[in-house]
């Protein structure tokens, strides 16, 4: 006898592993460009980070008595490790990657009950822990030196960098564009002077600048994000809300005082904004479920990002702003829900509908 199962008896083609694989696929071009630019050490760190993330996941699943193979094959740990690797300085030592993966998978995810249960984005949680604990290692940026160029370390030298750290730290590192801007503004320099000497919008867009793997090519991550939009893996609400909020804030302030506030293009092309807007803030587990909720989440993250970048003590604030909005997600979900058919809806909703009708 057939055990009578519940309707519906057919299902869409979407599945968790497929979703994760498409996200990984869309990250690939930007990642490859980053690894190409920063050479062997970047590749080693990347592999160590994602490898340890999957390992920690497997260990946790084993301890929790969950089916290791089934849950590891959903590729979520791989994605978390990958996203974390995108936010690390490419020449950071190996233990940064391993420790980061530990923070992300064990503390950020599995302690809360595994996939779907974590209140904070694991990769951003890990990055924040690392940044606060190891400020030196986490801010040692190097200028791009692609494979095959004279400055590029060979495989052996690259492994030595990953294993033992950068030998002559001061000689190779330089500030990131956002960091440079912050230091110079602090010295009392005016913005046009700072930018004219060092800043090239095209380089920032393509990604031939220093930074983490995920902070280099704004264009490739934008394209990756558009691919995810096209595939309906993510919805437009969060990225559009974040990007327009940041652009609007930057426009207002730079128009008001162009000597001290960078314009919208600078903000959009530099730092981890593109990666953050399309890949980090859209993490379904830690963002609201309703469309209006997503827009509120995006606006909040955009505002916080701009505030931290402009007036905070860190040059970049993607991780902080996402984590803060993650904390607000349950609250947003509690108050912002879609209107149920045939019901009058919330008071906020009624107010907006009335406006719409009159306007």
Chain residues binding other proteins by CB under 8 A are 1-2, 4-12, 14-16, 18-19, 70-71, 74, 76, 114-117, 235, 284-285, 289-291, 333, 337-343
* 116 vs 167 by CB, closer to other proteins: 116
* 37 vs 329 by CB, closer to other proteins: 329
d(CA 141, CA 164): 16
Instruction: Tell me the closest approach of the beta carbon of residue 284 to other proteins, in angstroms.
Output: 4
Count of CB atoms situated within 10 Å of the CB of 255: 11
Contact call for residues 97 and 163 (beta carbons, < 8 A) = no
d(CA 304, CA 213): 23
Structure tokens at 13: 């083609």
The owner of tokens 């604030």 is: 317
Instruction: Tell me the closest approach of the beta carbon of residue 11 to other proteins, in angstroms.
Output: 4
* 219 vs 238 by CB, closer to other proteins: 238
- DSSP label at 209? S
Instruction: Tell me the closest approach of the beta carbon of residue 189 to other proteins, in angstroms.
Output: 45
d(CA 323, CA 297): 11
Structure tokens at 185: 């503004």
Please provide the distance, in angstroms rounded to a whole number, between the alpha carbons at the two ends of the chain. 61
Q: Is the peptide bond preceding residue 315 cis, with omega within 30 degrees of 0?
A: no
Contacts of 304 (CB under 8 A, 6+ apart): 317, 320, 321, 324, 325
* 232 vs 260 by CB, closer to other proteins: 232
- DSSP label at 110? G
Instruction: Tell me the closest approach of the beta carbon of residue 142 to other proteins, in angstroms.
Output: 36
Extract the runs of DSSP E, i.e. beta strands, from the chain.
Answer: none
5 φ, ψ to 5°? -95, 170
Count of CB atoms situated within 10 Å of the CB of 177: 27
Instruction: Tell me the closest approach of the beta carbon of residue 229 to other proteins, in angstroms.
Output: 14
d(CA 312, CA 241): 21
* 108 vs 207 by CB, closer to other proteins: 108
Angle, vertex CA 129, rays to CA 126 and CA 132, nearest 5:
145
Instruction: Tell me the closest approach of the beta carbon of residue 12 to other proteins, in angstroms.
Output: 5
Angle, vertex CA 276, rays to CA 128 and CA 201, nearest 5:
115
d(CA 60, CA 207): 36
Instruction: Tell me the closest approach of the beta carbon of residue 104 to other proteins, in angstroms.
Output: 16
Instruction: Tell me the closest approach of the beta carbon of residue 1 to other proteins, in angstroms.
Output: 6
Query: Could you tell me which of 283, 254, 280 has the C-alpha nearest to residue 267?
Result: 254
Instruction: Tell me the closest approach of the beta carbon of residue 74 to other proteins, in angstroms.
Output: 6
């Amino acid at each position: 006898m057939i055990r009578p199962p519940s309707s519906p008896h057919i299902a869409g083609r979407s599945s968790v592993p497929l979703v994760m694989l498409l996200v990984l696929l869309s990250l690939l071009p930007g990642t490859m460009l980053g690894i190409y630019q920063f050479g062997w050490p970047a590749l080693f760190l990347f592999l160590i980070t994602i490898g340890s993330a999957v390992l920690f996941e497997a260990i946790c699943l084993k301890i929790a008595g969950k089916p290791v193979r089934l849950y590891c094959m959903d590729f979520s740990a791989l994605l978390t490790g990958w996203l974390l690797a995108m936010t690390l300085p490419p020449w950071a030592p190996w233990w940064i990657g391993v420790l980061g993966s530990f923070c992300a998978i064990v503390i950020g995810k599995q302690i809360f009950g595994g996939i779907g249960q974590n209140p904070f984005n694991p990769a951003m949680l890990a990055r924040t822990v690392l940044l606060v604990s190891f400020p030196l290692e986490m801010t040692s940026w190097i200028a791009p030196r692609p494979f095959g160029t004279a400055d590029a370390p060979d495989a052996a030298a690259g492994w030595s960098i990953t294993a033992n750290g950068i030998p002559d730290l001061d000689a190779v590192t330089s500030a990131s564009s956002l960091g440079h801007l912050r230091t110079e503004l602090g010295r009392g320099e005016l913005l046009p002077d700072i930018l004219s000497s060092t800043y090239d919008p095209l380089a920032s867009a393509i990604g031939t600048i220093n930074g983490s793997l995920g902070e280099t090519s704004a264009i490739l991550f934008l394209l990756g994000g558009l691919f995810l939009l096209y595939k309906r893996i993510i919805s437009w609400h969060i990225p559009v809300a974040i990007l327009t909020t940041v652009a609007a804030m930057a426009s207002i302030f730079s128009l008001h005082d162009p000597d001290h506030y960078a314009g919208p293009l600078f903000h959009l092309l530099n730092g981890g904004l593109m990666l953050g807007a399309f890949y980090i803030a859209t993490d379904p587990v830690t963002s609201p479920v309703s469309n209006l909720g997503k827009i509120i989440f995006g606006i909040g993250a955009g505002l916080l990002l701009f505030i931290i970048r402009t007036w905070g003590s860190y040059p970049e604030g993607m991780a902080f702003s996402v984590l803060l909005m993650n904390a607000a997600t349950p609250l947003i979900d509690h108050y912002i829900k879609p209107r149920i058919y045939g019901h009058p809806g919330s008071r906020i909703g009624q107010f907006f509908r009335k406006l719409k009708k009159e306007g």
